Structure 1
Amino acid sequence: MFVIIGYVFMCTCILGAYAFHGGELHVLWQPSEVVIIFGGALGGMIAGYGGKPLKATLKALPSVFKGSKYTKAFYMDLFALMYELLSKVRKEGLMSIEADVEDPHASAVFSKYEKVSHDHHVVEFICDYLRLMVGGNLNAFEIENLMDVEIDTHHHEVEVPATVITKLADGLPAFGIVAAVMGVVHTMGSLHLPPAQLGELIGAALVGTFMGIWLAYGFVGPLAASMETKAAEGTQVFQTVKVTLLASLNGYAPQVAVEFGRKALSSTERPSFKELEEFVKNAKGK
């Protein structure tokens, strides 16, 4: 949503100011130069990132036009889920959650928290490490190292689309210059034309530089920044689960382990201690 709002505001300011001073908007519409700029940049992107990175980028693009799913409400559900699982472990032992972690989709505990259960990656992360805890063959230090490796791998993977779009944005100004130079070459071959027509050709050539810079910094660059933000939000979820599980593994009570996880959150998503305490207790009683 904010991407669209930003685009509309930017276009209104740039084009509105241009038109206010007498500029003719139709002059900026140069389809051939748009094809040169975007075609060249996209071709380079495909050549450099074809295959899995390109597929991941196409899959990630729609997410930048949606709000974040990792909201305060999501984390409240996540903490309630973790609290209920860890309380069950504390009262009935680790083997009591074996069925829950082996098949979370059939688990009565997981099904209560739809915001979390619909996120396959988060559920898999939780279940994998609870399964290791049930096995009892790894200590807290070994599990923490393994978590760090997986989180780093996940973060590098989800950052790929942002990297691809950043490279696309980096190439657009250069291909804008290419379009402008080609326009100048065309103009130099048309010197026999009247000055008015030559002026139009020169203006069209200069539009190439303008379009390349505008598309890069006004449209494509912000997409890459939004993707980076989305990647960081996803990584924070795993960090929160990690801190909570390690606190439990080190012997802290469920309510304290959940508090450890709460402290790992950014202030914009972090519930208050009292708010979280009441929520997890009410959710467990349902």
Structure 2
Amino acid sequence: MFPIIGILVVLGCIAGGYLMEKGNMLVLMQPAELLIIGGAAIGTVLIGNPPHVLKAIVGGLLGVFKGSRYSAGIYLDTLKFLNDFFNTARKAGITSLEEDLDAPDKSALFKRHPNFSKDHEAMLFFCDTMRTLVGGGVEVHDLDSIMELDLEIIHKQASLPVSALSTMADSLPGLGIVAAVLGVVITMSALGGPPEEIGHKVAAALVGTFLGILLCYGFLGPMAANLKKQSDAESEYLGSLRMGLLAYMKGMSPILALEACRRAIPPHVRPTFKQMDDACRKSASAAPAEVAA
């Protein structure tokens, strides 16, 4: 919602100020300039990035308008899942959950928490870590190093579309100059013609520079910044999950492991201890009925 509002504000303020000075909007309508700048910018992205990054860019741009999924509700649901998992492991033994970890899509425990299980990266991170723990023969600090390495790789991959989009945004002013230079070349070839025609061609050339700068600083640059914040939000979410797992692997009780996870949650989406405790108690009391159903 806010990105859409921001786009409307950018367009409204620029167009409004231009019209206040009696500007002619038709002069700014230069499809050829837009084709040169936009087409060349897309081409640079295709040249510089493999297919999986291009796919991530498209998904990331769509995500800009949807907003981050890591809300306070998602964090609370994750805490409820961890509470159910840790308590089940304490009562029945961690090895009893081996089948759930091997096939989480068929697990009743995972199905009770769809907000967690539909997050592919988080579920893989959790299952891989716990499966390694179940296998035994690994020290806690070694497993923590493995988790840290895993999160570094995930964050690096999530940063690739951000870098690609930022590079594309940075190229737009230069491509706007390219369009403007081509416009000047066309203008020079028309010297000796009617002054009105020459003036129109000069205006069209200047619009190229205008569009390049506007697209960079008004749209794609802010979108890249938004995408980076979403990437950081995912890293914060997985980081809090890591802290909960690490606390559990150190032998802490489920409630202390949950508290370690909660303390690693960013303050603006962090539930209070009471909210976490109430939600976990409610989830634990409802779980047997759901399993029986």
The two structures have a TM-score, normalised by structure 1, of 0.97
Structure 1 Cα separation of the partners of residues 127 and 3 of structure 2 = 35
2:290 equivalent in structure 1? none
1:90 to partner: Cα distance: 1.9
Return 5+ residue gaps in structure 2 as ranges.
287-293
The number of residue pairs the alignment matches comes to 286
1:76 equivalent in structure 2? 76
2:237 equivalent in structure 1? 237
Structure 2 Cα separation of the partners of residues 114 and 40 of structure 1 = 42
1:196 equivalent in structure 2? 196
Structure 1 Cα separation of the partners of residues 186 and 108 of structure 2 = 70
Matches of residues 25-44 of structure 1 in structure 2 within 5 Å? Answer: 25-44=25-44
1:246 aligns with 2:252: no
**What amino acid maps onto 1:278 in structure 2?**
D
Structure 2 Cα separation of the partners of residues 211 and 11 of structure 1 = 12
Structure 2 Cα separation of the partners of residues 50 and 243 of structure 1 = 33
Structure 1 Cα separation of the partners of residues 237 and 46 of structure 2 = 31
1:213 aligns with 2:239: no
1:109 to partner: Cα distance: 1.4
2:20 equivalent in structure 1? 20
Structure 1 Cα separation of the partners of residues 117 and 40 of structure 2 = 42
1:60 to partner: Cα distance: 2.6
Deviations 1:118-172 (A, max 9, x none): 1122111111111111112111100110001110000010111111111110111
Aligned residues: CA RMSD: 1.2
Where 2:269 maps in the other structure, the secondary structure is coil
2:228 equivalent in structure 1? 228
1:91 to partner: Cα distance: 2.2
1:94 equivalent in structure 2? 94
1:21 to partner: Cα distance: 1.1
2:111 equivalent in structure 1? 111
1:85 to partner: Cα distance: 0.9
Where 1:268 maps in the other structure, the secondary structure is helix
1:96 to partner: Cα distance: 2.1
Question: Which ranges of 4 or more aligned residues in structure 1 deviate by more than 6 Å?
Answer: none
Larger CA deviation: 206-215 vs 216-225: 216-225
Structure 2 Cα separation of the partners of residues 55 and 267 of structure 1 = 32
Structure 1 Cα separation of the partners of residues 241 and 210 of structure 2 = 47
**What amino acid maps onto 2:214 in structure 1?**
W
Structure 2 Cα separation of the partners of residues 180 and 108 of structure 1 = 62
Structure 1 Cα separation of the partners of residues 97 and 51 of structure 2 = 40
1:172 aligns with 2:172: yes
Structure 2 Cα separation of the partners of residues 213 and 50 of structure 1 = 27
**What amino acid maps onto 1:15 in structure 2?**
A
Deviations 1:180-206 (A, max 9, x none): 111111111111112222221111111
